[in-house]
Structure 1
Amino acid sequence: MNDMTVISVVAMVGWLFLAGSALASFQLGWSKVLQMALVWFAIFAGGFVIASFLM
């Protein structure tokens, strides 16, 4: 691994921690968090599928 890879990994972990703490501040139940995660996964998966058909 080079220096840029290490910096990218550290930055991604930092962003993940920031997003997780923001989500935790809403004090939602696990079922609601899982539902939101699945919805976001479906949105991004749909975007990737549409983008792959357009290219």
Structure 2
Amino acid sequence: MSEFQIVALIALAGSLLLVAPGLAGRGMTLSKGLRLALVWVGLFAIVTLFISVISP
């Protein structure tokens, strides 16, 4: 793992630490959060597959 990947992981962890209390304050449960995350991952996967199919 390069130093750039380590810095990116630290930034990602820091972002999650900043966002998690805000979501908990709005009543976001862990299961609801995971469900929403899976929906977003699915949307990005579908768009990526669509673009890769239609591009020459």
Shorter-chain TM range is 0.5 to 0.7
Q: Secondary structure at the match of 1:28?
A: coil
2:11 corresponds to = 11
Q: Relative to 1, partners in 2 of residues 1:20 and 1:54: Cα closer, same or farther, differing over 3 Å? A: farther
Residue 43 of structure 1, CA deviation: 1.3
C-alpha spacing 1:16/1:52, structure 2 compared with 1 (3 Å) = farther
TM-score (norm: length of structure 2): 0.59
Alpha-carbon shift at residue 49 of structure 1 (Å): 1.2
Aligned length: 55
TM-score normalised by L of structure 1:
0.59
Deviation >6 Å, runs of 4+: none
Q: Which runs of 5+ in 2 are unaligned?
A: none
**Unmatched runs of 5 consecutive residues or more in structure 1:** none
> Identity percentage over the alignment?
31
Question: C-alpha separation between the residues in 2 aligned to 1:5 and 1:34?
Answer: 24
| Code of the aligned partner of 1:43 | L
CA RMSD after TM alignment: 2.2
How far off its partner does 1:5 sit? Answer: 2.4
